[in-house]
Amino acid sequence: MQIRQTRRTFVGEMAALSAALVSHWRASGQTQMRTKIAKIESLPVTYPVVGHFKFFEGPPGRPAGRPAVVVKITAEDGTVGWGQSVPTQRWSYETLESVHSTITRYLAPELTGQDPFDIDGLHARMDRAIAPSFSTGQPICKAGIDLALFDLTGKLLRQTPAQRWGRKSLDRITLSWTLNPRTLDEIEPLIAAGRARGYRNFNVKVAPDPKFDLELCRIVKRLAPDGFLWADANGGYDEETALAVAPKLADIGVAVLEQPVAANRLRAYRRLKKQGALPIIMDEGIVSSVELDEFIAMELLDGVAMKPARCGGLTEARRQVERVQNAGLMFLGSGLTDPDISLAASLALYGAYELKYPAALNGPQFLSGSVLKRPFEVVEGQLAVPTGRGLGVEVDEEKLQRMRLKDV
């Protein structure tokens, strides 16, 4: 009897160990599925913009709204993965047209027929097709492919992002309300609009006028004294102005200063960090882990405002978050006014890596319309982290076709 009991215990333990090993292999992407990429489609869309946001002030003759490219990757077995590239020509050099043509003419032919689980190999192929300059070439474009591959392989593995990464996840992400007023009189109504939707934390667009910026932050801090106040200059100050304004912003109660000067002003970043008035957060200046490692070693920053869309997708974004955390620096969550699919990827990353600060994910604030069967909904200033397989969201192809741009 004892021998039988011991045998059953041994068999049970071996079964549990086998299941754990399979789970680990799947989480690390080592499980080989017998399928290849059959088709990659680039589908340009536009989302209506609600209110004023400076990055969506397009030139005459361009379609109004927030441009995006939905990426659909179909495997040979019929499984579909969805991704999204979110170009903003006033923020970077990538445009709706450049993303669409690059995917259609260069990346899709390069990747079709390949193993969707060979993520490093697929990124190497993309980097050969579209070469880098200082850093990754067309990272916003490549992010759409990366997200679609992640969604596809996650569905094949039947795993959520947190399961694939072997991590637990937050259930919800607290958001920050973005303020970019044109006059001081607009500030109070804008804050009231955010509070009405449950927001208690605020990020403000500053630069180039320090006098306006300081008064803006004073008003925000007076109206929301307990909120996390985050100033983002988008590289708009010169070095001397940034050094002068940082201590004054700190005195008002600003918590961090993001991208105070242009991305290539490295000596200015060193001086600002050495000054120590505020934590200096980099954004536009970091696309790949290569420059992130260099900038950390050179002591140029106190943290990174992470954007999967900016750095080529979840594969690279996750790598950067881990480098920042290992260095003991701040990891903030941000975005490029991400619509639904790209937003899902950001929420998955920030949830799995337990983001500590309110996230400046302002897609729900400035955009309307959705290609999802169940669109995201802000509840008390928070968004739920998707819990489904892949990216955790389902695309409604009828909605997608209605939003699609036909003349790109």
Q: Output the CA torsion 392→286→246→177 (10° steps).
A: -20
What's the average model confidence in pLDDT over 264-279? 98
pLDDT at 297: 98
| Residue 350 scores a pLDDT above 50 | yes
- Residue 63 pLDDT: 63
Domains recognised in the chain with CATH numbers = 37-158 (3.30.390.10), 164-396 (3.20.20.120)
Q: What is the pLDDT of residue 171?
A: 98
pLDDT at residue 273 is higher than 90: yes
Q: What is the mean pLDDT of residues 90-107?
A: 96
Q: Return the structure tokens found at 94.
A: 């990538």
Q: Is the pLDDT of residue 380 over 60?
A: yes
Q: What is the pLDDT of residues 219-232, one digit of tens each?
A: 999 999 999 999 99
**pLDDT digit string (tens) for 44-71?**
999 999 987 777 776 666 667 899 999 9
Q: Which residue has the higher pLDDT, 27 or 358?
A: 358
Distance CA 186, CA 188 (A): 6
Question: pTM value?
Answer: 0.90
Per-residue CA distances from 187 to 18, 183, 201, 246 (Å): 59, 7, 14, 21
Per-residue pLDDT, averaged over 116-136, amounts to 96
Pair type for strands 330-333 and 303-306: parallel
Q: Would you say residue 360 has pLDDT above 60?
A: yes
pLDDT on residue 32: 52
From CA 269, how far away is CA 265, in angstroms rounded?
7
Closest CA to 223 of 199, 249, 250: 199
Rg (CA), the chain: 22
- For residue 385, the 8-state DSSP code is P
4-18, 315-329, 387-401: segment of lowest average pLDDT: 4-18
The confidence score (pLDDT) of residue 406 equals: 86
